[in-house]
A and B are shown apart, each in its own frame.
Chain A
Amino acid sequence: MGVADKGPPSPQPPPARPAYTDESLAAALRGGVDPSGRVWDPVMPRYKLQDDDMAILISYLKSLSSEFSPGVDAATLRFATVITDDLTPDRYQEHLNLLDNFIRRTNERTNHIENEVRNPRVKRQLMVSGRVAYRKLSLSRWMLKGAPETWRSQLEEYYRKEPVFALIGGVSGTAWKPVHDFCESNHLPCLFPQTDFPVISETDWYTLYPSKGYYQEGETAARFLNRCDDFPDSGKILMITRESREGIMLNDGFRDTWRAFGRAEPFTVRIAEKEFLSPERLALLVKTEKPDAVVIWDNTALPEAINSLTAPGIEPPNKIIVSSGFLDLKFMELNDNIRDITYITYPERLPMDEKLLEAYFFGAKPQGLKIGDGISKSAKQTYPLIKVLERALREMKENFYRDYLLDIISMGKDLDVPLYERMSFGPGQRYASKGCYIVQLGKGSRPELVKKSNWVIH
């Protein structure tokens, strides 16, 4: 700093250097001299970058926030949660209650400490340690009505009235893409929306999904088949795809993955949305195509069509693959004599494993998820969101930047949760649960699920 005069330190800050331009920043990063001519401390490396690399670095530096993101003011940090009107309240009410509880508890703790703790240093200490949130939290409900094509303008309207810092949770039974796209355009984080139809992208940034939903089941089926020693290299696949949102996502997950393995395209038959997959049609397809494996992304294939493949005169394929998500509990209706060749994608912990863990997750009412017997799916789905929020708020402190929030979550430790074997992020990772089992049904009328794969197949 200044000249070594022996007087008291000057109250003036050192003269500010001129703002960096692209050129002076590049020169400084290379040579270590700032625009005022001051030489940087040698601890700061001198980066001898070429022009194109330097341009990447500088554009990255420019992308970093210099002001707080929208959705925060001196008193409040605002969140919203999106609910779509294709759902009945029993599908989302508990989710909303749990989120409200979380917000209330956090605010109560903050209020309590603000009112009770007088000593500002102690208060500061409590903030730094994450015991107090730096702002009161608020949560709005953004209810979307009508067709998904109309959601975007509804979202923009909500956002115009009340810019929020992030969307948290939310539930939809149909599309999620309009919300996803809205978040991308507004650089608005969206944490763990409950949807089976996440947008699959390797570069989109703002939505963190619990998993890839149906896509992940399709992907897993392809990975499984690719690893089956008894499935020939040039094996033939008959894929039957219902033209519904579910069927198409399962189909795409399978097809993309199978292609990436360099395998021959499956022979794909589409079932129109109003059509029913009849036993005759399936039997005929199997007879004429003689596939080594049949992949069925259709929720009308059971109980009749698949079970009829063991009828006399039909040579059943070596393997049949179906989705537990799409069939729901119908997969329990597989006949005994077809269970040996039928493989089911199962993207969650198996019920028996989960049961064992219920006490661990909910018994000691961790962080306010205080629920009695029979823990609902909704509570299990909300659990990781609350974990992530607690941690993120604690670590974000007063740095109310959306990109920072996403960075914190990306760099967080893996999550132990009831529903999935493991949820984890990492820089750039956007789908937390990466797993899906392949299971088969055991024998009998109340069959067990038998694991045929690890949680993740490569």
Chain B
Amino acid sequence: MRIPFHLKSALVAILLCVCILPARPAQAADIKYKRSVERYNVPDVVLINQDGKKVRLQSLLNSDVPVIVDFIYGTCTTICPVLSAGYVNLQRKLDADSKKVRLISITIDPENDSPKVMKEYLKRFRAKPGWDFLTGSRADIDTVMRAFNAYIPDKMSHYPLNLIRMPKGGSWVRLFGLMSTKEFMNEYLLATAK
């Protein structure tokens, strides 16, 4: 019996949300990801979101609301579901406050990731409003990846990265590596503390 692909992906999504991100005690020695504070110049490009709407990246990112950026793609079954489980769990934890953070996923497979593919991806992860998935031309996507020191020439050499923009001052916290929900939440609270 063959399992249709969308079911497999749904499965991955379920398993990840349910299981892979247990709340581990965030002891310093236990931290597996790399944290740094950076400044980035967001390039002036127009991308397309899951509704097919054009969005200007600068206006989306340079906001008073905390912003988190990651790089994923719609048919990915490796680290993207883990990153996205982080987004979903953050949205759940923040619950009513989830609109206070702007989650942005930028595709690294812009040829395949049409608005339709991206919309289905978000639906599969039960994303709430406030999480946008962006595609665009290969050239623009490359520019964006480069601007964030996150250039991935081929989606198969993908690595886990979250970037949190601090609303105060506009610096970015760069988090390289996979995190538990608790770690992710702590980093978010730290970065956005008044």
Interfacial residues, chain A to chain B (CB-CB below 8 A): 45-49, 53, 56-57, 59-60, 62-63, 187, 203, 205, 260-261, 411-414, 422, 424, 426-429, 434-435, 454-456, 458
Choose, from B5-13, B27-35, B58-66, B93-101, the stretch at the interface. Answer: B5-13
Interfacial chain A residues near B15, Cβ < 8 Å: 47, 49, 57
Closest Cβ of chain A to B72, distance in Å, is: 11
Tally of A-B residue pairs with Cβ under 8 A? 93
State A458–B50 Cα separation when bound (angstroms). 10
Place the interface of chain B in its size category.
Answer: 35 or more
Our pick among A59, A426, A434, A458 for the contact of B48 (Cβ within 8 Å) is: A458
A-B contact pairs, 7 of them (CB 8 A): A56-B3, A56-B10, A57-B15, A261-B52, A427-B8, A434-B111, A456-B137
Our pick among B9, B116, B157 for the contact of A413 (Cβ within 8 Å) is: B157
Q: Contacts A48-B18, A260-B116, A458-B135; is A426 near B2 (CB within 8 Å)?
A: no
Interfacial chain B residues near A454, Cβ < 8 Å: 137-139
Q: Check if A435 sits within 8 Å of B157, measured CB to CB.
A: no
**Interface membership of chain B positions 113-142, coded 1 if the CB is closer than 8 angstroms to chain A and 0 otherwise:** 011100000000000000000011111000
Q: Does B19 contact A (CB under 8 A)?
A: yes
Interfacial chain B residues near A49, Cβ < 8 Å: 14-15, 18
Q: Does B86 contact A (CB under 8 A)?
A: no
Interfacial residues, chain B to chain A (CB-CB below 8 A): 1-11, 14-15, 18-20, 48, 52, 73-77, 109-112, 114-116, 135-139, 154-157
Interfacial chain A residues near B115, Cβ < 8 Å: 458
Our pick among A48, A56, A455 for the contact of B7 (Cβ within 8 Å) is: A56
Q: Contacts A53-B14, A205-B2, A458-B135; is A424 near B112 (CB within 8 Å)?
A: yes
Interfacial chain B residues near A47, Cβ < 8 Å: 15, 18-19
Q: Contacts A63-B3, A458-B48; is A428 near B75 (CB within 8 Å)?
A: yes
State A361–B14 Cα separation when bound (angstroms). 43
Q: Check if A428 sits within 8 Å of B5, measured CB to CB.
A: yes
Q: Check if B111 sits within 8 Å of A53, measured CB to CB.
A: no
Q: Check if A63 sits within 8 Å of B19, measured CB to CB.
A: no
Closest Cβ of chain B to A384, distance in Å, is: 15
Interfacial chain A residues near B156, Cβ < 8 Å: 411-414
State A356–B101 Cα separation when bound (angstroms). 47
Closest Cβ of chain B to A259, distance in Å, is: 12
Closest partner residue, chain B, to A48 (CB atom): B18
State A48–B48 Cα separation when bound (angstroms). 37
Our pick among B4, B76, B77, B114 for the contact of A458 (Cβ within 8 Å) is: B114
